[in-house]
């Protein structure tokens, strides 16, 4: 652990465990708690003191902020997504960017399975029915069977593979990825073809310019009125407006989403639809996983502050 108490900016809320670890090492400034005016005032006086930034994958580090911090040495992401950090800019400025690979794969894949079952079996509505006391008066409409469905996975990285392994217990699994993998699942080099051959399409692709709106109106049309979409990666991979339209018009049976294009804001039409199951980006949010993520964030910070190679750098 580094002993010099330089300043770290904390760009979003983090777990109490991680916040305590940061406070042991740094003078922590809770950047997200400062109003924009207060941020500007603070930077005018202290920008040169900041040597580290700790942030979430969904928040990253704005380029305009990175450019204001001449002594910044590391952006430590508490997550695996680095789509909100300009890696070229970081490299040009000698800033290391680190993530927490491997820590959250199981949790994210587990949530994908939970969402598939919740969506097809209509679990949120069924649970609300009991809570409201409606059970004595009415039966729930029948839901849809999960086992035997054809599952398509978009993106077969670590998380996509873990989703595939779990879904294989329910039905046939196929995948689309730019690269064919050595796995026992059918490969589709074309996403439209995969969507057409799937009952449930599960999005597990990393966000980058090439995957932006990869799930568009055409892919949703190929999935069809009996098809379901599940997204546990990033909102940007799905054209949310096209998805909303397809659900509203009944051209898609349903969608379960943990991530959104403009988090934490979710379009009203998605929130009010009875074809959606929505969760607030909780795929990695378990006590165990957030602790493992925090340990890796701290290890990355300690290494960089000690002038060593961090365990999990992406830049």
Among 21, 60, 79, 227, indicate the residue that binds ligand 8YV (CB under 6 A). 79
Of 59 and 69, which has the nearer Cβ to ligand 8YV? 59
Of 11 and 223, which has the nearer Cβ to ligand 8YV? 11
Beta strands in the chain (DSSP E): 7-10, 27-30, 50-56, 74-78, 96-98, 151-154, 173-176, 186-188, 200-203, 228-231, 254-257, 276-278
Structure tokens at 122: 């209509």
The answer to whether residue 104 forms part of the interface with ligand 8YV (CB under 6 A) is yes
For the question of residue 150 being annotated catalytic, the response is no
What is the C-alpha separation between 258 and 111, in angstroms, rounded?
9
Q: Which residues from 279-298 bind ligand 8YV, rule CB under 6 A?
A: 281, 284
The answer to whether residue 58 forms part of the interface with ligand 8YV (CB under 6 A) is yes
What is the C-alpha separation between 270 and 244, in angstroms, rounded?
6
Q: Which residues from 120-179 bind ligand 8YV, rule CB under 6 A?
A: none
Which residues are within 8 A (CB) of 162 and not within 5 positions of it... i.e. 6 or more apart?
105, 106, 108, 109
Stretch that binds ligand 8YV, among 55-63, 125-133, 219-227, 244-252 (CB under 6 A): 55-63
Among 8, 25, 56, 151, indicate the residue that binds ligand 8YV (CB under 6 A). 56
The answer to whether residue 21 forms part of the interface with ligand 8YV (CB under 6 A) is no
Q: DSSP secondary structure string, 95-143?
A: -EEE--TTSSHHHHHHHHHHHHHHHHTTHHHHHHHHHTT-TTT-PPPP-
| Cα–chain center distance at 24 | 28
Stretch that binds ligand 8YV, among 34-42, 53-61, 64-72, 299-307 (CB under 6 A): 53-61
Structure tokens at 69: 């911090």
Q: What angle do CA 29, 12, 77 make, to 5 degrees?
A: 100
Beta bridge partners of 205: none
Of these residues, 121, 144, 263, 275, which one is catalytic? Answer: 263
The answer to whether residue 65 forms part of the interface with ligand 8YV (CB under 6 A) is no
Of 60 and 227, which has the nearer Cβ to ligand 8YV? 60
For the question of residue 281 being annotated catalytic, the response is yes
CB of 214 to ligand 8YV, least distance (A): 17
CB of 81 to ligand 8YV, least distance (A): 3
Of these residues, 96, 234, 240, 290, which one is catalytic? Answer: 234
Binding site for ligand 8YV (CB under 6 A): 56-58, 78-81, 104, 281, 284
Catalytic residues: 234, 263, 281
């Amino acid at each position: 652990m580094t002993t010099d108490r330089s300043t770290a900016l904390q760009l979003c809320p983090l777990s109490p465990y991680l916040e305590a670890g940061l406070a042991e090492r740094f003078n922590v400034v809770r950047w997200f708690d400062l109003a924009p005016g207060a941020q500007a005032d603070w930077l005018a006086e202290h920008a040169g003191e900041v040597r580290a930034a700790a942030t979430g994958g969904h928040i990253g580090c704005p380029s305009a902020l990175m450019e204001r911090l001449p002594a910044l040495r590391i952006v430590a992401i508490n997550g695996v997504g680095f789509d909100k950090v300009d890696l070229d800019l970081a490299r040009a400025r000698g800033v290391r960017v680190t993530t927490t690979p491997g820590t959250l794969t199981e949790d994210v894949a587990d949530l994908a399975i939970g969402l598939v079952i919740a969506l097809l079996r209509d679990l949120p509505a069924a649970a609300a029915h009991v809570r409201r006391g409606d059970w004595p008066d009415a039966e729930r409409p029948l839901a849809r069977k999960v086992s035997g469905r054809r599952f398509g996975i978009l993106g077969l990285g670590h998380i996509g593979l873990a989703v595939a392994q779990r879904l294989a217990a329910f039905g046939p699994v196929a995948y689309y990825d730019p690269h064919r993998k050595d796995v026992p699942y059918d490969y589709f080099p074309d996403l439209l073809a995969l969507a057409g051959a799937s009952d449930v399409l599960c999005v597990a692709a990393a966000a980058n310019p090439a995957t932006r709106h990869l799930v568009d109106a055409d892919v949703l049309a190929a999935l069809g009125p009996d098809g379901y979409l599940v997204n546990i990666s990033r909102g940007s991979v799905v054209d949310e407006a096209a998805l909303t339209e397809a659900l509203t018009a009944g051209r898609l049976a349903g969608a379960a989403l943990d991530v959104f294009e403009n988090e934490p804001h979710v379009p009203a039409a998605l929130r009010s639809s009875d074809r959606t199951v929505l969760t607030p980006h909780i795929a990695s949010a378990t006590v165990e996983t957030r602790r493992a993520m925090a340990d890796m964030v701290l290890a990355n910070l300690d290494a960089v502050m000690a002038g060593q190679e961090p365990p999990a750098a992406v830049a």
